[in-house]
């Protein structure tokens, strides 16, 4: 079993601890801070073996060096970002496979939010750790990449099994859903999902992970083929990339 623990930090970040119960191997995804991770490791009685970074932003790599110093773990990140991510021991590229105990993760390059962004897909655990590429009902801002790059990156995620759990790095779901309703107001699946999300937030509970099929049904950045969405944003008949680009532009100014 791959045990996954979500650690909320900062204002809205999520760090993930992954533990293979058979081998005892443990990894952490995008440690913004070190101390909350060290505290949870102590609580669980686990030893940290790996840091998995998705991209170079400080709220994803801030804990790297202290975790290395205190646990002896190794850091895995994109080869293209080795100069921007502290403490990298192992660089990976699109299509590479890493292992946490008996669980294999395929690395997918997903440029857009940053030029070197990668995600980690654990097929046997039906889990995707996607950093800031895909959010629940949203996607990352285009800080370094183009809209076409991000659209291509999201196509890789759309191709995964619908039951895949989407472990994104921020609690943005409620705000993303409010925007989604402006571009696809008649989407009943979206309306129902927002009722559930609003209730979870009232209870101060996490809305992450989501399920990929939920995202396909409600996330406007994955729904460029929706005629209702195209009409709402005056892009009827546009290319998939042009529809995505307009949705991203509208969200940037929402």
Q: What is the pLDDT of residues 48-66, one digit of tens each?
A: 999 999 999 999 999 999 9
pLDDT of residue 103: 98
pLDDT of residue 194: 98
End-to-end CA distance of the chain: 41
pLDDT of residue 179: 98
Nearest partner of 172 among 140, 125, 213, judged by Cα: 140
Distances (CA, A) of 110 to 70, 116, 132, 149, 205: 31, 7, 10, 8, 28
Which residue shows structure tokens 């409600």? 218
Q: Give 179-231 pLDDT, tens digit per residue.
A: 999 999 999 999 999 999 999 999 999 999 999 999 999 999 999 999 999 99
Which one of the listed residues 19, 55, 56, 117 is annotated catalytic? 55
Alpha carbons within 13 A on the beta-carbon side of 114: 19
pLDDT of residue 78: 98
- 56 catalytic, yes or no? no
β-bridge partners, 210: 166
- 132 catalytic, yes or no? yes
Q: What class is the 2-252 domain?
A: alpha beta
pLDDT of residue 143: 96
Which one of the listed residues 19, 56, 60, 117 is annotated catalytic? 60
pLDDT of residue 196: 97
- 60 catalytic, yes or no? yes
- What's the full length of the chain, in residues? 254
Which one of the listed residues 59, 81, 117, 217 is annotated catalytic? 59
Residue 232's CB is within 10 A of a number of other CB atoms, namely: 19
Rounded CA separation 4/194 (Å): 25
| Residues in the chain where the model's pLDDT stays below 50 | none
Task: Decide: helix, strand or coil at residue 32.
Answer: coil
Largest CA distance in the chain: 56
pLDDT of residue 1: 95
Which one of the listed residues 49, 57, 117, 217 is annotated catalytic? 57
- 252 catalytic, yes or no? no
């Amino acid at each position: 079993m791959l045990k996954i623990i979500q650690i909320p930090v900062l204002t809205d970040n999520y760090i993930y601890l992954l533990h293979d119960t058979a081998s005892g191997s443990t990894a952490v995804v995008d440690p913004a801070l070190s101390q909350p991770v060290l505290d949870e490791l102590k609580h669980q009685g686990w030893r940290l073996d790996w840091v998995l970074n998705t991209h170079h932003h400080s709220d994803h790599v801030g804990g790297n060096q202290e975790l290395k110093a205190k646990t002896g773990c190794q850091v895995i990140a994109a080869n293209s970002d080795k100069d921007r991510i502290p403490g990298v021991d192992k660089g990976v590229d699109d299509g590479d496979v890493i292992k946490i105990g008996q669980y294999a993760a395929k690395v997918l390059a997903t440029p857009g939010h940053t030029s070197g962004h990668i995600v980690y897909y654990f097929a046997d655990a039906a889990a995707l750790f996607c950093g800031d590429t895909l959010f629940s009902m949203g996607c990352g801002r285009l800080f370094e990449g183009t809209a076409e790059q991000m659209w291509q990156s999201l196509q890789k995620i759309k191709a995964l099994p619908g039951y895949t759990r989407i472990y994104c790095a921020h609690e943005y779901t409620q705000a993303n859903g409010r925007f989604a309703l402006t571009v696809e107001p008649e989407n009943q699946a979206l309306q129902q999902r927002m009722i559930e999300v609003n209730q979870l937030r009232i209870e101060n509970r996490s809305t992450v992970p989501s399920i990929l099929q939920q995202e396909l049904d409600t996330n406007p950045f994955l729904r460029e083929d929706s005629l209702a969405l195209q009409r709402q944003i005056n892009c009827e008949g546009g290319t998939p990339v042009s529809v995505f680009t307009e949705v991203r532009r509208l969200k940037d100014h929402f």
